[in-house]
Amino acid sequence: MNVAARMRTNPAFRFVDQYKKLFIAFLLIIFLFLLGEVTVSNFLSFAQLLLTVKLASFIALFGLCQMIVMAGGGGGLDMSVGYTATMTAVLTASMMDGRNENLWIAMLVALVIGLAVGVANGLLTAYVKLPPLVVTMSMSLILQGGINVYTAGANITGKPSPILQIMAAKSIGIFPNILFILLILTPVVMILLYRTKWGLALFGTGTNETAAYLSGVNVKRVRCISFVISGILSSFIGLLLIGNMGIAFKDMGSNYVMPSIAAVVVGGVSMNGGDGNYIGVILGAIFLQTLTNLLVAMGWGDAGKWLGFGIVLFILLIVYVNDIRSR
């Protein structure tokens, strides 16, 4: 056995190798905080870190949708998450009208919207075999148009139910509540992907569609379900979004779409499918938020943020390109 082979079988080395992208994302975050501390004072503090996590949480939530559809391979991507969330927020605002007893209606509406969008995306991509990018982009445009028509006639009235506001906007002590949602969501997602029949079938489909098909797995249904889950999730994220903002407005979710995809890439999840570690996606989201904070603190503002995102994405894609080639 040569040295390289022996290293590959060494458990410690295997551990580092398996999670090396998590380490990279983690180190990048630390690097940014240190850079911020040096260039702008008072950047590195626990409070600042918690604030960053809170701001990053919605990128991480939408990133979950992206991760799930990407895991199934075939160029999986969901561009419609932003407007699905917006649609739910806009429609449920007046229904909830600031009262908790109306929350269940809002949840029902969220479920219906999410299911409709997800099933449509899933059928068109998995069964009609249209490219996910085009399908979900078109879906996004349709939803945007619908929202614009709905909001053109009348102002959006209504407020989220207090429960949603507590979940999304408030804190327990210094810990933002949405942090707990992420903490609960992470193991749930990991179990869904690594311990269920569907999750393993999704990874297999993403790794090698032909082999999965020949093994008797219904790859179309597996992929379709990933889009349905993404649709329902993004619709419920819409409820949290209105809870966080306190009001609904017509472009409230659209700014998260690109960062959510970026977070998945930064988190080291392969865009070719076949894997998905949600902790990586959360780290990716925190990294992007830290980068935004830093650029804002340095006076670069919104323009600098997008420039920074773009550059980081390019660099990471180049770094990870070997993994893509080696497939």
Partner 1 sequence: MKVLEATGIKKCFGGVVALSDGNFSCQEGRITGLLGANGSGKSTISKIIAGVYSADAGEIRYKDRLVRYRNPNEARKDGIAMVYQNLSLVPDLTVWQNIVLGAEEKKRLFLDNKAAKNLSKEIIDQLLPGLDIGKMVYELNPGEMQIVEIAKAISAEPKLLILDEPTSALEKAQVKSLFRFVRSLAERGVAINFTSHRLWEVMEICDDIIIFRNGENVGSLDFERDGRDPERIVSYITGDVQKVKVSRERRKNGGKSVLEVKGLNYGKFLRDVSLDLKKGEILGIGGLAGQGQHELLLALAGNYPSVDCVATIDGEKVRLNRPANSIRHSVLLVPGDRELEGLFLKQSVYTNVIFPKLGLKHQPLFTPRAKYRKECERAVDVLSIKTSSLDMPVRTLSGGNQQKVVVGKWFSFSTNVLLLADPAKGVDIGAKRDLYGYIVNQVREKGISVILYASDTEELAEYCDRVLIMYEGQIVASLEGDDINEDTIIATSMRVR
Residues 226-255 that bind partner 1 (CB under 8 A): none
C-beta of 197 vs 325, nearer to partner 1: 197
Give me the long-range contacts of 139-148 (CB less than 8 A, separation at least 24): 139/79, 139/80, 139/83, 140/79, 140/80, 140/82, 140/83, 140/257, 143/80, 143/83, 143/84, 143/86, 143/87, 143/117, 144/83, 144/86, 144/254, 146/87, 147/83, 147/86, 147/87, 147/90, 147/250, 148/250
CB of 227 to partner 1, least distance (A): 19
CB of 117 to partner 1, least distance (A): 24
Using rule CB under 8 A, residue 102 touches partner 1: no
Using rule CB under 8 A, residue 197 touches partner 1: yes
Binding mask 257-276 for partner 1 (x = CB under 8 A): -----------------xx-
Identity (one letter) of the amino acid at 85? A
CB of 197 to partner 1, least distance (A): 5
C-beta of 36 vs 73, nearer to partner 1: 73
Using rule CB under 8 A, residue 200 touches partner 1: yes
C-beta of 176 vs 274, nearer to partner 1: 274
Nearest to 273 by CA among 260, 285, 264: 264
C-beta of 148 vs 196, nearer to partner 1: 196
Sequence-separated (6 or more) residues with CB below 8 Å from residue 10: none
Using rule CB under 8 A, residue 224 touches partner 1: no
* Region near partner 1 per CB under 8 A, out of 178-186, 196-204, 231-239, 253-261: 196-204
Using rule CB under 8 A, residue 216 touches partner 1: yes
Measure the CA dihedral 193/183/66/242, to 10°.
Answer: 140
Provide the binding-site residues for partner 1, judged by CB under 8 A: 8-9, 14, 191, 195-198, 200-201, 203-204, 207-208, 210-218, 274-275, 327
